[in-house]
Amino acid sequence: MKALNLMTLVALLPGCAMMDNMSKPRHDPEYVPAQPASYQMPKSNNGSIYQSGYEVRLFEDIRARRIGDILTINLVEKTDAKKQADTDFKKDNTSSMSAPTILGVVDPSLKGLNLDSSLTSAHDFAGEAESTQNNSLSGSITVSVVDVLPNGYLKIRGEKRVRLNQGNEYIRLAGIVRPTDINPDNSIESTKIADATIMYTGEGALADANKAGWLARFFISAIFPF
């Protein structure tokens, strides 16, 4: 009995280690900020007041413009979508056939036989569909510039990781912005980001409780035949 308990304990140790690792927010390699190029101080040129590489930008603002600079994104996403479709059609067909005649005279061999026939069909279909979806996302996230395109536009990318009670929350953002759209306080609205990728996900006990089990997902999936 003691050996069985010991084996059970050993088997549960990897699971406990895995749960401990899941409790820590994870970094997504695709959203790692870009590092600016290493800066090397230029050699000093004695005898000159103004030396190259030691200039001070007195009239430069704080807006992001170089690789490695940071930029604050104000999330103001809100979408409302509604779709409605009504379909209704009806079709009636009636066909009849009388006894055949030749030159206006009924064939004597067919007298006494009722050869009249008719065919009637009716089709009726009515369908109605309606879909409504509302989404809203507000807040802010600070990202970094990972590339400067030839036209001067900035590629941005960043991730925010938040540990809340028994779960981790992740906000990931990537896209392209124009320097002229950046506000003087070095911020920009998310609605002005081109090719935007905004993801808000979570993991942990709260996220698992809000997710259907694998058996429930099977019964509501397309592969379930009934």
Asked if residue 154 lies in contact with residue 148, where contact means CB atoms within 8 angstroms, the answer is yes
pLDDT at position 165: 74
Dist. CA 142–CA 35, nearest whole Å: 15
Residue environment code for 61-89, b if the CB has 16+ CB neighbours within 10 A, otherwise e: eebbeebebebbbebeeeeeeeeeeeeee
Quick one: 131 exposed, middle or buried, by C-beta within 10 A (0-12, 13-18, 19+)? exposed
pLDDT at position 42: 59
Model pTM above 0.75: no
pLDDT at position 6: 57
Per-residue pLDDT of the chain (226 residues; tens, 9 = 90+): 555 555 555 555 554 444 445 567 677 777 877 777 665 655 666 666 666 655 556 666 788 888 989 999 999 988 888 888 888 878 787 877 666 666 656 666 656 666 666 778 787 878 788 888 888 888 899 999 999 999 999 999 999 888 877 778 889 999 999 999 999 999 999 999 999 999 988 776 666 666 667 666 766 777 766 5
How many C-beta atoms surround the C-beta of residue 45 within 10 A? 11
pLDDT at position 32: 77
pLDDT at position 17: 46
| 218 Cβ contact partners less than 8 Å away, ≥ 6 residues apart | 224
Dist. CA 25–CA 147, nearest whole Å: 26
Task: Domain ranges for the chain, please list them.
Answer: 83-130
Take residue 37 and report the two structure tokens written for it: 């190029």
pLDDT at position 144: 93
Dist. CA 215–CA 88, nearest whole Å: 37
Q: Considering only CA atoms, which of 30, 19, 15, 62 is closest in space to residue 187?
A: 62
pLDDT at position 18: 45
